């Protein structure tokens, strides 16, 4: 198995990896998305676990790893920071720390919904599709974000969002079981 610690940035990622079968260790800085995608696609067919801190800029990367069927562990950034021995911080040291935590089974993994589920949830919060609260007189309020733009009719909203609501509700029920 290849275990990779990733310090992820919007323009690049610093990685530290080890092949547990051969003991081979390597460090690299990969530019996004070209070099990174090339590196991970070259590992296709091998068992790979990737660990990284939670980040809002990594959607394309998460999709790539899911497509390649690699295991992705996302960690709590604040807890990873507390495990750092030195206060001086570099990208290289961060990648090494994440790798070390993965190898020692001390990686503070957090639950993250699948990227398909997150896309579905994003559709639910699009203002034009989201249901609006009905005022006391039974009328829809004016849309707050877009000035005078009227809210969509209630029936249209129910028809458009019903499949998404049902799928999200089923997924949330499975999570709470």
Domains and CATH numbers, the chain: 2-103 (3.30.420.110), 115-176 (no CATH)
Nearest residue to 7 via CA among 23, 34, 40, 30: 30
Structure-block tokens of residue 33: 């998305």
The share of the chain scoring above pLDDT 70, in percent, equals 68
CA–centroid distance for 162 within its chain: 25
> CA dihedral in degrees (17, 22, 24, 30; nearest 10)?
-40
| Tens of pLDDT, residues 14-36 | 999 999 999 999 999 999 889 99
Q: What is the pLDDT of residue 3?
A: 95
Half-sphere exposure of 60 (CA within 13 A, CB side): 12
pLDDT in tens, the chain (177 residues): 999 999 999 899 999 999 999 999 999 999 988 999 999 999 999 999 999 998 777 888 988 998 999 999 999 988 888 888 776 678 888 999 999 999 999 999 898 887 778 777 777 766 555 555 554 555 555 555 545 555 555 544 454 555 656 666 565 555 555
The share of the chain scoring above pLDDT 90, in percent, equals 39
Q: What is the pLDDT of residue 25?
A: 95
């Amino acid at each position: 198995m290849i275990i990779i610690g990733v310090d992820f940035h919007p323009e690049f990622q610093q990685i530290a990896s080890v092949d547990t079968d051969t003991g081979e260790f390597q460090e690299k800085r990969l530019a996004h998305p070209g070099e990174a995608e090339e590196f991970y696609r070259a590992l296709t067919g091998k068992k790979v676990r990737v660990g990284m801190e939670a980040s809002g800029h990594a959607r394309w990367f998460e999709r790539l790893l899911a497509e390649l069927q690699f295991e992705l562990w996302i960690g709590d950034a604040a807890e990873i920071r507390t495990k750092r021995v030195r206060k001086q911080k570099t990208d290289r040291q961060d990648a090494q720390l994440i790798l070390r935590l993965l190898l020692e089974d001390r990686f503070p993994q957090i639950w993250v919904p699948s990227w398909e589920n997150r896309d579905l949830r994003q559709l639910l919060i699009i203002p034009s599709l989201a249901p609006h609260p009905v005022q006391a007189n039974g009328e829809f309020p004016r849309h707050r974000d877009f000035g005078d733009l009227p809210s969509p009719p209630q029936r249209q909203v129910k028809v458009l969002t019903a499949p998404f609501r049902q799928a999200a509700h089923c997924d949330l029920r499975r999570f709470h079981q």
